[in-house]
Structure formats: C-alpha cells, structure tokens
Structure 1
Amino acid sequence: MAAKSGISEKIDLDRWLSHLQYIENRVKKLTLLAKLSQLLNSTLDPYEIRRMAMEAACQLIDAEVASLLLLDKRTKKLYFEIALGENEKTLKTLTLNLGEGIAGWVAKTGKPLLVNQPEKERRFLREIDRKTRFKTRNLLCVPVKAKRKVVGVLEVVNKKGETGFDEGDLSLLTSLSDQVAIALDNARLYQELEETFFQTAESLAEAIEKRDPYTGGHTRRVGEYSLAIARHLKLNRQEKKWLKIASALHDIGKIGIEDRILRKPERLSREEFDAIKLHSNMGAEILKHIRQLKEIIPGVKYHHEKVNGAGYPEGLRGEKIPLLARIVAVADTYDAMTTDRPYRPALSKEEAVRELKRCAGTQFDERVVRAFNQAYRRGEI
C-alpha cells in the first residue's frame, strides 16, 4: 500500500509540475502578446504593421512561417500580402476565392480553423504546397476582422518541435489577429487623412500655378521627376512622403510675388529677378506656421541653392544643402529646360540631360544627377 501511495504521490507531483510549467509558459506568451501589441501600434505605416504582424505571429506561436492574406473588396479574392519565408515571391502570384482552401473557408465563415493533419482535411489546398515545394505538417488560420467584417486571414504553418498546434495557440493567434485588425484600421484612417492632405497641397500648388500662364503642369511634373530620382537614392518611405509634399509646394512662396513680375513674357530685369528670388524665403515663412510640415521647409527654402555656393537664399554649399532641396533642384531645372517659355524655346530631353550632367558638381549634386540619369534611362522620366 505504501508503495502504491508513493507512486500516486509522484504522479500527482509530475502532473502539478507539468501544469505549473504550462501556466508559466502561458504567462510568458501573454506577456509577449502584450509587448507585440504595443509594437504593432507604434507605427502607422501599413506595410510595417503587416510585416511586424507576421514576425510576431511566428514568435508568439513558435511557427516556422506565417502569412497574411487580405480580401480584395472588388474581386472578392484573397491575395498574399505578406508571406514570411523563401516562398513569398511565389505565394504573391496566387489568389484564392472565398471558400477555397482553408484560408478561403476561414475568410468566408469568419471562423478560425486548427489543422494538425492536413492530409486528412478536405479543405486543405494541396496545390499550394505543390507550387511552392513546401511541406505543410500543420497549420492554424484565424480571421482578421475590422468593425466585425472579415478583411483577411492570418495563418501560421508548421509548429516548431514534435507537437502540433493546440487550443492555447488558437487563443493567442486570435488575440493577435484582433490587435492586427485595430492597427491596420488605424493605419487606413491615417492614410486617408494623409492622402487628403496630399491632394490639398497639390490643389494649392495648382491654384498658385494659375497665376503664371507659362508654368502649367510644372508642379505635377516636378513631383513625378523628384520621386523618380528618389527611387534611385534609396530614400525611406517617410523621406519620400516629405519629398512628395516639398516638391508640390516648392513654389508656394510665389503667392507673394507681384503679377506684373510673375506674368511678364520677357526676360526679367535684375531688380525683377531679385524679387522672384524672394519666393524661397516666403515659402518657408508660410509653411513654418504649420508644425506638421517642418520637415519639408528645407526642401522648399533651399531648392535654388547650388553645390558650389552660388545659389540663393543663403549660398549653401555641397551637402550643407538638404537632400530634399538638392533633389527638387534637379527636377525643377529639368522641367524648366524642357518647357517652352515666351523668351526661349524648350530644349529637347537629350539636351536637357546633357546640361544636367555638365553642371553636376557645380550647380547640382552629382549623386542626384546620377540618380536622375538612371531614372531617365529606365524611362521613368
């Protein structure tokens, strides 16, 4: 009897220790979930949120790979927005109908699905494994809902170790999915506000252009050329956003220039040109009252500076000229050269490119001119 009692006590102790280990692991996972939730809400960049969500899913659930599929409202198809792992490029070429495969079923029903034996699951789409040459051992898929509507699905594949996914994993991934949905919705609202702001800036620039009959479309073209240059300078997303606004508003200071000067069809006198030169500082003065635009002010104020120090308003040299201004300077000058003016015909594109190259290192930043040339050769300008 004593022996049986000892065995029983040992079994109870083992169970207790196992349960304690489970609780400790669960607490760690919940703590990690809280940290990941904070991380997801630390940015309003939709791409960053999606990428971070997938990395968080793998870390939280101990999965090999993860995917985020979003629902196209127009086509009613799911597409792979983010897919961690070496098969991302292949997966991004695939789409799923609602109800097709496990992801399609989850998106259609709004219910999560845990599958530890995919070979026995009729909803499992073997075609994807075949195309990616990937072996799915198990998977967990949950819906991503915004305002109670399914906007996509979050999927983790192949639990690390010998065991499959369990209900605890399902609960954690569902909680993460809720956080992802909130972060994505916040980012969407921010994007809409941002786009409204861009459109307002462009409308303002166009209104200013109406005062000058010789520069129709100038602001739009400078914006396009500036962003084409930026792609070859490896500017980050935020820098490109600032550049987009700076290029749209680079001539906003002309609102303070008299019409008789701005509309003059002949070449300007020295005094008139000195008056025109004031528009750089005027633009900066106008924008300094908008706190959110402080990052674009250098691009507006210094886009007429030259790397040899012969520009205006301050005669800055080389890299002391902010990069946004150096980019807008090249885009602005190229458009001016290739546009007809009353006092001179436009140069051809080839002539204008040669002129930019000739002035690289004196008037323009050499690196920016090289980036311009790369964009031009690729047909982006």
Structure 2
Amino acid sequence: MRSRRSSTPPALEETPETARQSVDQPSLAPSIRVPSTIEAGPLLKALQTQAESRALDAVAAHLWLVDPTSATARLVASVGTMRPADKPIPLDDPVIGHAARDACARLGEVARMRTHDSETTVWRFAVPLERAGDVGGVLALDVLGDSAPSTASLQEVLTPFLPNASACLAVHVARQEVADAEAVLAIAREMSRLLDPDDVISTALDKAMSLVGASTGSVMLLDEQQGVLRIARAIGLPTSAIESTLQPGEGIAGWVFATKQPLLIEDLPERPGRALRHGVKSAVCVPLADGDDVLGVLNLGTKSFLARLTESHLKTVEIIGRQTAIALRNAQVAERTRELYFQSLTALVRALETKDPQAQGGTERVLEHALAIAREMGMSGDELDAIHVAALLHDLGMIASGADLRSIDRTLTTVERGLLKAHPRIAAEILAGLPALSDAVPIVYHHHERYDGSGYLEGLAGESIPAGARVLAVADAFVAMTSDRPYRPAMTPAQALAELRDKAGTQFDPEAVAALERVLRGRQERAPERGAR
C-alpha cells in the first residue's frame, strides 16, 4: 500500500467519467462548515448536508477502515437514503478499493437507476485517509446525476472533512481495541473460576465465536495415547468433521499445533480440501499454548465472503487461546485431584464394607444411580459433588454403630430399631467434623425423610427436604430392593420401579422417581447397541 505522508489533499486520478467533464467554474458557494466532532455519524451527516448546499444530490456519505491483512475496506459508519451494504469491499474495487490501494482520490459510477420515463446514475467519490503514515481508510460521498459530477466541487466539499474523518477512524480503532481488551479480561475472569475442563472448553469456544462473529468453531485437543488431534467441542461443523482426527503437522490445525504459530487464512474458497467442504471461507486458528506446552488448537471460521476475520481478530483470539490453555491446565489438575479424592473415599467404603458381605458393592450401585438421577434432574457442579460424597458415606453411621442390621432375618428389637434410625445422625456428625465433606451433611442427615413428612430424623416434607436427600432416598431404596437379603430374594428392576412409583408422593419425591425411570429406560434402549458391537 502506497504511503502518503503529505497533508495536501489527495490528487484525483482521471477516469473516463472525469475526462468528459467540462471545465469547472470557480465556486461561489459559502465556505464549508465542518463540525468540531470526531463522532462518525454526525460528521458524515454534516458532510452530506454541505454537499447538498453545493447543489450536489448527495444520497450517502460513508467512512471505511482499510484492513491490509485481508486486503479489504470495512464500513465504519454511513448515513443517507442509499447507504452501502455493511460488508467488506476488496481493494480491487474500482472506487473505494482503488482509492485505498493507490492513495488517490477516485470518482466512479457505481449504479444506474431507471424508471419508466427517466434514468439517473449513482456516482461515488472516494478520498483516501492517512493513518500512521499510510492509507488507513477512505471517506466517500455518493451523489445522483445524469452525468459525472464536478470533481472540483466534490474535492472542495470533502477536503475540509479529511482531518476529522481521520480522527474518527483513530477513535473507532481505539474504542474497538478497548472493547476487545475488556471482553478478553471478562473471558479470563470467567474461565479462571471454572474447574471442569468441559466447562472451560465450552466457555472458550462460545465466547471466542461471539467476540469475532464466527459461524463455525472447534476446540481440538491432543489425544496423548493416540498421538492425534481430536475435536473436544464443535459448533457449526458436520458430524463427519467432528469425528475426524488430525496428525500434528497435518492440515491447518495440525500445522498450528506443530509450529505453535497462529494463522489467519483469508482465501479458503481457492483452497481444496476439508476447509472448503465445511463451507468456511475465512478462518483463524491459534494454539492452546501453556508456556512451552501446546494442549491443542482453537479454530474459528466464517462462511461469508469477503472474509470478515482480520489481524485484530487473530491477536484477540490468540490471547483467548493462551487463557484457555492456562484455565484448562488448572481445571485438569483440579479434576485429577477431585478424582483422587473420590477414589480415596471409594476405597475407604470398600474397606468398611468387608465387614458386611451383604453390603459389598451396594454403595457403589447407590452412587451410580444417585448421580444418574441427579444429572437427569439437571443438577451439576457442587450439588452433584455433594451427592457423590453423600452416596458413598450415607451408611457410615450404620458401620460406625457396629450393628449388622441389614443381615438380620427377624423382627428388629427396640434397641436395633433405635440404632437403625440413628445411623443418619451418626454419619452426619462424623462428616460435620470434616470441612471438606460438609456439603454432604444435610443429604446424609435427611435421606430417610419421607415426602409426606412421616420420615426421620426431622419429619420434613416435600421440597423442604434437601434435593440431594430426595435423590439419595430413591437411589438407596432401588438398590436395596434389587439386592438379595437373608429374608428375601432381590426384586427385578421392573418390580422395584413399580414399588417406587406406587410410593411416589408419599415416601418418595415423584420427580426423582420419574428421573430414575427415564434413566433406566435410556439404559434399556442403549443395551442392544452395546451388544451389537
């Protein structure tokens, strides 16, 4: 792009239209009044008004920002009854593009309009604007006329507006950079609070796509066992693309992963291969880099043409990529710690269950069903973790009491019944002394409450019973009914479910029972698929 460091008005390049014009007469119109504003809208409106005062039938005034990376000009603002479309203009455009590319004012015909009895032409006059010693933008005016308008009149009108128009561009760029920085900081703050890797990936992709206006996006992570890049989350891509893998160094994403370099691609319509098949016409791909390590890549694409992604977008997404890598690493560490924590609790429960052969494996079945019910009911995060702990340790009080009540095949004595009813309290008191397990205390304490208020320990009813306790009650009862006891054989799942349905609304939460039914139905529907493999 040609540099223009002179403050003099840009020269007008002669075109067939301008060559046909008659010699311009000296203007007798009043001097041009330029408002003291650097807001694009009011400035362009004033430009259109001043043009009309010079007997020019101005139908639009518009301001463009030049993006050298994509070789396009992008609309910043426009006013008038016939404003141009808000889409990038290539620098090989004969008027706007020509003015930007050759740093020279340009007049050209952009449209002809016909009615039954008349015909007129839309003429566009474009003047380059200097920014940082080069052409940074274009100021343009569209006028109606049967023949080409006077270039001297157009130059006379536009020239006084050039300094303010350049200032408008600078303000626009600065505001955009501030907005991008604020958005990136907000994303960083949000991701720093996430401890689930899936949440980090989803948040990063959603926020990045929204920030740059992408229509497709994906996060690919390295599968360390297979040594390939695999899509962890995708939006706007076909199933075939989501299921595919890449070797490091293969394709655009593989190259970015292998080289740790971000990439902006603007000419995908000219490229063969998978990017074209997905309908993507421009793309940004950045590494998810955490120091020297690369965890994967973040891909964003647009399906519009001319391309809408710019160098500014690339820099912004690159920062998001680094933030994502840090947040993902922290979440992975937290997840491994969490897994170790639950594995330790599970090992403890297994050791305790060795004292009661009838109970072995039962706790883990309760855990499986409780978590499935909770997820089906939309629970997640800390609430789900509390249910996880409570399901593992809900019978800790039974074990601590030393009474093997589940294997007794006779009527319980008064003392034994007292111990049975006390076991939630004993377990809750043990857990209350451990701050890391405190969220599970209300669930354990209340898991023998009944929905109609006739249970124990507090006689709570309905939704006053903690939701986790209502879930655990259903899971615990289902496992108990489908387990062998010395005094009866195990029920079938269908029989146990029918019993739960019968007690829904009295002993059990109807919503939790319905959730269990959906879970079991889903497992039955998937069972033939597993057997077919």
TM-score, normalised to structure 1, is: 0.87
C-alpha spacing 1:316/1:78, structure 2 compared with 1 (3 Å) = same
CA RMSD of the aligned region, Å? Answer: 2.7
Name the SS of the counterpart of 1:277 in structure 2: helix
Q: Does 1:236 align with 2:380?
A: yes
Distance 2:7 2:360 in 1: 94
Give the match for residue 103 of structure 1: 253
Quick check: 2:362–2:479 contact (8 Å CA) kept in 1?
A: yes
Name the SS of the counterpart of 2:222 in structure 1: strand
Give the match for residue 268 of structure 1: 412
1:331 to partner: Cα distance: 1.5
Give the match for residue 244 of structure 2: 94
Q: Which moved more, 1:88-97 or 1:322-331?
A: 88-97
Equivalent positions of 1:20-99 (< 5 A) are 20-85=171-236, 87=237, 89-99=239-249
Quick check: 1:304–1:312 contact (8 Å CA) kept in 2?
A: yes
1:161 to partner: Cα distance: 8.4
Name the SS of the counterpart of 2:217 in structure 1: strand
Quick check: 1:114–1:170 contact (8 Å CA) kept in 2?
A: yes
Q: Give 2:429's aligned amino acid.
A: E
Give the match for residue 315 of structure 1: 459
Decide which of 469, 473, 476 is 1:332's aligned counterpart.
476
C-alpha spacing 1:334/1:59, structure 2 compared with 1 (3 Å) = closer
Decide which of 119, 122, 127 is 2:274's aligned counterpart.
127
Distance 2:418 2:219 in 1: 57
Name the SS of the counterpart of 2:496 in structure 1: helix
Q: Does 1:7 align with 2:151?
A: no
Q: Give 1:92's aligned amino acid.
A: I
Decide which of 310, 313, 316 is 1:172's aligned counterpart.
316
Distance 1:14 1:186 in 2: 47
Quick check: 1:106–1:142 contact (8 Å CA) kept in 2?
A: yes
Distance 1:225 1:117 in 2: 52
Name the SS of the counterpart of 1:343 in structure 2: coil
| Larger-gyration structure (1/2) | 2
Decide which of 280, 283, 297 is 1:153's aligned counterpart.
297
Name the SS of the counterpart of 1:278 in structure 2: helix
Q: Give 1:22's aligned amino acid.
A: V
Give the match for residue 203 of structure 1: 347
1:77 to partner: Cα distance: 1.7
Quick check: 1:205–1:251 contact (8 Å CA) kept in 2?
A: no
Q: What are structure 1's unaligned runs of at least 5 residues?
A: none
Q: Does 1:113 align with 2:263?
A: yes
Give the match for residue 360 of structure 2: 216
Once the two structures are superposed, residues 128-179 of structure 1 have per-residue CA deviations (whole angstroms, 9 ceiling, x without a partner) of 542x4x2x22111111123412211012212978565443332222211111
Name the SS of the counterpart of 2:357 in structure 1: coil
Give the match for residue 352 of structure 1: 496
TM-score, normalised to structure 2, is: 0.64
Q: Give 1:167's aligned amino acid.
A: E
Name the SS of the counterpart of 1:44 in structure 2: coil
Distance 1:69 1:159 in 2: 20
Decide which of 434, 453, 456 is 1:290's aligned counterpart.
434
Aligned residue pairs, count: 371
Distance 1:116 1:231 in 2: 43
C-alpha spacing 1:317/1:142, structure 2 compared with 1 (3 Å) = same
Once the two structures are superposed, residues 103-145 of structure 1 have per-residue CA deviations (whole angstroms, 9 ceiling, x without a partner) of 1111122222121112445xxx623542x4x2x2211111112
Distance 1:325 1:17 in 2: 61
Name the SS of the counterpart of 1:294 in structure 2: helix
1:260 to partner: Cα distance: 6.3
Name the SS of the counterpart of 1:71 in structure 2: strand
Once the two structures are superposed, residues 199-257 of structure 1 have per-residue CA deviations (whole angstroms, 9 ceiling, x without a partner) of 12212222222222221111011111212323432323443332222111111222421
1:347 to partner: Cα distance: 2.7
C-alpha spacing 1:252/1:20, structure 2 compared with 1 (3 Å) = same
Quick check: 2:266–2:307 contact (8 Å CA) kept in 1?
A: no
Decide which of 398, 410, 424 is 1:280's aligned counterpart.
424
Distance 1:361 1:164 in 2: 57
Q: What are structure 2's unaligned runs of at least 5 residues?
A: 1-5, 11-158, 528-533
1:192 to partner: Cα distance: 0.9
Distance 1:29 1:195 in 2: 37
Quick check: 1:62–1:159 contact (8 Å CA) kept in 2?
A: no
Equivalent positions of 1:184-195 (< 5 A) are 184-195=328-339
Comparing both structures, which one devotes a greater share of its residues to helix?
Answer: 1
C-alpha spacing 1:39/1:161, structure 2 compared with 1 (3 Å) = farther
Q: Give 1:126's aligned amino acid.
A: G
Q: Does 1:226 align with 2:373?
A: no
Percentage identity across aligned positions?
A: 34
Q: Give 1:332's aligned amino acid.
A: D
Q: Give 1:34's aligned amino acid.
A: L
Distance 2:216 2:341 in 1: 38
Quick check: 1:265–1:343 contact (8 Å CA) kept in 2?
A: yes
Distance 2:7 2:331 in 1: 61
Quick check: 1:82–1:88 contact (8 Å CA) kept in 2?
A: no
1:305 to partner: Cα distance: 1.3
Give the match for residue 299 of structure 1: 443
Comparing both structures, which one devotes a greater share of its residues to strand?
Answer: 2
Give the match for residue 341 of structure 1: 485
C-alpha spacing 1:215/1:271, structure 2 compared with 1 (3 Å) = same
Give the match for residue 396 of structure 2: 252
Decide which of 366, 373, 378 is 2:517's aligned counterpart.
373
Once the two structures are superposed, residues 270-316 of structure 1 have per-residue CA deviations (whole angstroms, 9 ceiling, x without a partner) of 22121122110111111112233332212211111111222211122
Q: Give 2:173's aligned amino acid.
A: Y
